[in-house]
Structure 1
Amino acid sequence: MPVQCRTQSGLRDDGEISDISTEGCCLRMRGLYFRVGSRLIIRPKGLEGMPGVVRWVSADLAGVEFDRPIYGPVLDHLALTHAVPQQA
């Protein structure tokens, strides 16, 4: 799912979210690199910003824990809207 990310220092970049849950997600950015403990705001298209903290980093991926869990029906909507079709 496409996403825009803004760091606490104001840097912005576009990237994508995968493995999203009510508590957090995996984030891949194009140009920004994060450190564990970095604070950021993730803004998926059509939603308000979701503040969180980076809990792990591996190459260009970062695991983000949201400050507040995502409401279940909102997560369900995101999953249906951005689902990757299964191959037969």
Structure 2
Amino acid sequence: MEKRIEGRAVVGIEAKCSTVIQTCEIDVVNISIRGYCIRHGRMSLHVGQKIVLRIDCLEGLGGEVVWLRDGYAGILFERAMYEPSIDHICRYNRDVKGDDMWQFAA
């Protein structure tokens, strides 16, 4: 099992994911300062592909697909996010869904 450097927020937020040829609704499963995991459903993605994530509470976040497995994708941000931005996403998630989770994975 891979060791994680930073904590990740388990969020379950609905968002939009865009590539140069498509935009689809996806679920953000978790997010950290370096990237995030999505459940992409039918969206066609490949490793190395550039994407933009749009969550209602933030402007578009650029990233690159680094892994794909069983309908999930790992995305690395173009630039690491600041922890206050992750906190903002968690507050948004709590306000919208009543969820409040911050999980540190070892």
- Is contact 1:5-1:43 (8 Å) kept? yes
Q: Percent identity?
A: 28
Question: What is the deviation of 1:77?
Answer: 1.7
Normalised TM-score (structure 1): 0.85
Q: In structure 1, what is the equivalent of residue 16 of structure 2?
A: 4
2:83 to 68, 72, 82: 72
Structure 1 residue 62 corresponds to structure 2 residue 69: no
Paired positions, count: 85
| Structure 2 Cα separation of the partners of residues 47 and 85 of structure 1 | 18
Greater RCO (CA < 8 Å, at least 6 residues apart): 2
Q: Which runs of 5+ in 1 are unaligned?
A: none
Q: Which runs of 5+ in 2 are unaligned?
A: 1-12, 102-106
Q: 1:75 to 1:58 in 2, by over 3 A?
A: same
Equivalent positions of 1:1-88 (< 5 A) are 1-7=13-19, 9-83=20-94, 84=99
